Structure 1
């Protein structure tokens, strides 16, 4: 007959522990870079005597993260390259700094729970900046005051709160419907789209909600704005059209992630299309001016 652990820490350790020979563990680098807050993993550590206690040391190797200051993927490092703790359970703040600019940093709030003499369970309570792919600054700037709503959805998605993330992203699309349609119409005009598409987009923009505006779109979008051959507006509509009441939290989480990725990519593509055409227009005008100057008879 086995006895259930009564102590809260003992219960947690009992529930997490498996046969040590079968226990899988990950590298600390992978944990810091890729593990979402709230998920338990197992890592290895080394130990040494510390008075009557045991001092446990976890290596903190360099990691790769996106640096908003450098605006690229860079190496981050910890000032001592290790973290030590005493006891069966410990909570620690660990800060990494960008090796390139020495300004940007990321701080992790981490819990360690010792399993045996070489392995410890570990989870992030959270991290700042938040876990997950960085959101482009230009995209957030385009959202204006709705950027905060989008970031709340991003945080919900990072915490696997599917319904909340789905709801936030849907609110962003409803609030920024006019902006998105204005960008699409401007890009379509610049790319020489069929008049039927321009008219269809202009009419659809008058709808109150995003899903209503995109429900009846039929005309072909310019090829350069397609994603895998599909109209991005139709893709966003399909991801949102079922509504919260028809989906589980897991389904909402997947839909929210798809909406985020497509929306960011689409707005970036729209801005790129407009920039390219503006650059072409400027270059064409410059060539014409130069040609006229060369052809103009010299004044006597």
Structure 2
């Protein structure tokens, strides 16, 4: 499942941020992450105002924004090491969700995952900094593809068009340009999330032109990247719940799809709030704020 074999979770006493994390994103090309996007217009969000893939948007607290959000209680005040059984409660709730299919159990699992497993929203933001960095890099790159102001990117666009690359092949080349090396769990997860995000963008709108994405498509793509990386992290840390319980493959896939849809809705609503700012913001700032908003919402469940 996901990008890696599920784990038993880091043991008690291990740091929330592993020592190798600071260097994990050194190979990421985020040279265009200071590119600005204007505020979103009314009624032009990708996918419309309805729910993501049929999920109920009421599951996300869309009243939360990055400027005046009621922060969920973090467990990280002065604590840098993980407690014993950090994912136990989240696995319990996820197990109940597997049995019941009740979305409230999935929300509770995500709440405990953020509050206890990742040490609270603030520490979770730090732990998932690679997600934010990758989403911003992807947004900045595609903005430059559309604007045509970077000669190196222009050369790549011309080459991709001349070679007749499919959207998926072009996307893979973009991802490999942004994170050429990879290697760490976080980098590989981010690369996988970017690929999932581009695929999902085409699922939402098959007429998408990867060489001319709108501002709303770019912000949606960034949000999808964040959401899929959160989803990949959940699979990595809580995946044994799905492996141990004796359910048919159809039930497991259905439950996983529900979790994915819930995460997509929460991140979409968090991104929407960030994009209603009255002034342009860099894709770096948009990505970081959307991730924090989403983790606040998860942690409040």
Is TM > 0.5 for Structure 1 vs Structure 2? no
Query: Could you say which structure has the higher strand fraction?
Result: 1
Larger-Rg structure:
1
Q: TM-score, normalised by structure 1?
A: 0.22
Higher relative contact order structure (alpha carbons within 8 Å, sequence separation ≥ 6): 2
Query: Could you say which structure has the higher helix fraction?
Result: 2
